[in-house]
Amino acid sequence: MLGVVGCVVGDHGLGRVTHASGHGRLDTDDGRPPGRAPQRLEARHSNQAHGTHRDVADGFLLGRPSEPVSEPGCDDKSLTEASCGGARGAKRRSVTLHNRETLSPFLTELDALGKELRADRRPEDRAHFARIEWAGRLLSLAGLATAWIAINPFSIVAMSLGNVIRWAIIGHHVLHGAFDKDPDAPRRWKSQRFGAGWRRYLDWLDWMPGSAWAYEHNSLHHYRLGEVHDPDVPEDVFEWYRDIGLPRIVEVATMVPIAALWKPAYYGPSCVRQVWRREERLPPDAFQLFDITTWSPHTPLGRRVWLQSWLPVVLGRFVLLPLLFAPLGWTASLLVLGNLLLAEFLAGIHSFIVIVPNHAGDDLHRFDTPPKGRHEMLLRQLLGSANYRTGGTVNDVMHGYLNYQIEHHLWPDLAPLQLARAQPRVQALCEKHGLPYQQDSVWTRLRMMSSNALGDTEMRRVERVMDLPSGSGGGSRSGAGPETTQAAK
């Protein structure tokens, strides 16, 4: 199956980059590394800053004038140690390490790199994207064409991969406007057209309506990364799960069905909910699983979830497609339905593994205040994101190109191949200026996310990462990447 992806997509000739950030080991006061507490701490996470921050001045974190401050157990040689601790409920400490003068050369070079990357749009970027698109289509068709024969792993895996490619790579980048400014790109790759109206059944038959997902993901998640109104922070999303108080073995075991069902049970309803809250002039919020207004067809929001999220997928994918095989007999239709359901569960697990851990772990940051200007927002994308292993076409496709998460959050409108070209340059720039660049295997990040979500560790919380003078680095969030998406109009 992986060979099919590799043969159809082809290789973009970029080497594999596997080294992670070089930050030093940080120990807690009793000598353990952060987030590796000997037992689970039951302190309940809240959306406010946990513990107290030292009132340091004009440094990197709190932005008021002072010299760098260090406390026992903290290493002040790397920005990754800016907020010490990791075990949930432990005292949080903020250490000033960089001021705006120190960061100015880095930000200048980062801006120049962004302009260069956006200007460097090549024909091979389109060709590469088209090959991935066709690989996903061929996998979906091959899986469906063999699904009536028997419940079989080929159909399940092929349709699952086609599902993940269509969402995580094709829909994701198109709705970020990766080809909006490319006059030679086909119309179906324009963000205003993709998945809109009847084209949802052709481009984007998924649990999240394209326009709702563009608003939830592009506007709320990207532009409010790690803030209280970011709806995709795992330690907030899983708060209901921690509150149940299940035994640890049950919590771990049930993570698999949660991953399998996370799109219909969480992501689809959450996207619809955030759009509804915007229309009702309510602030964004973390999705609440047990909020009956989201599920009940007797409420305005519930009816919208049923009509926009669940019914189109259930009727289109799990009713219409099996019925197409009815001429072969009802057994064939039932076999197709079974393979489709298993492929959906596998796609849910696959996408959960490559998507959710990108912004979770005790080495990444959350932010208690909005950014002041474009440059601070760019820094937050760096401090709040992590990459997986990069390089190699099959590896990148299997990660949904989400292994370039840092570069994607810096410049969301870059195409996949542009992200691959950007990655070694961003990493080198961070190393040059002594800034963190988190990169681990997806399995390491999954373990860190699970520890975070289940309440053993918490992300590092800071008020802000830089306090620029008024007017510096732009005055809004929008500098991290122009979002010409359905939601922006």
pLDDT at site 467: 58
Q: How many domains does the chain divide into?
A: 1
Query: Average pLDDT, stretch 294-307?
Result: 94
- State which residues form the domain around 319: 1-489
How sure is the predictor about 170, in pLDDT bands with cuts at 50, 70 and 90? very high
Query: Average pLDDT, stretch 347-363?
Result: 97
Please tell me the distance from the alpha carbon of residue 146 to that of residue 158, in angstroms, as a whole number: 10
Total-model pTM: 0.80
pLDDT at site 89: 44
First-last CA distance in the chain:
40
pLDDT tens sequence across 377-395: 999 999 999 999 999 999 9
Query: Average pLDDT, stretch 348-354?
Result: 97
Report whether pLDDT(424) > 60. yes
- Which residues, at least 6 apart from 198, have a Cβ–Cβ distance to it below 8 Å? none
pLDDT tens sequence across 52-74: 222 222 223 322 222 322 333 33
Please tell me the distance from the alpha carbon of residue 365 to that of residue 53, in angstroms, as a whole number: 14
The amino acid occupying position 174 is V
Q: Give helix then strand counts, H and E, for the chain.
A: 22, 4
Kindly report the length of the chain: 489
Report whether pLDDT(316) > 80. yes
Query: Average pLDDT, stretch 242-269?
Result: 92
pLDDT tens sequence across 478-489: 445 434 333 333
Query: Average pLDDT, stretch 32-61?
Result: 32
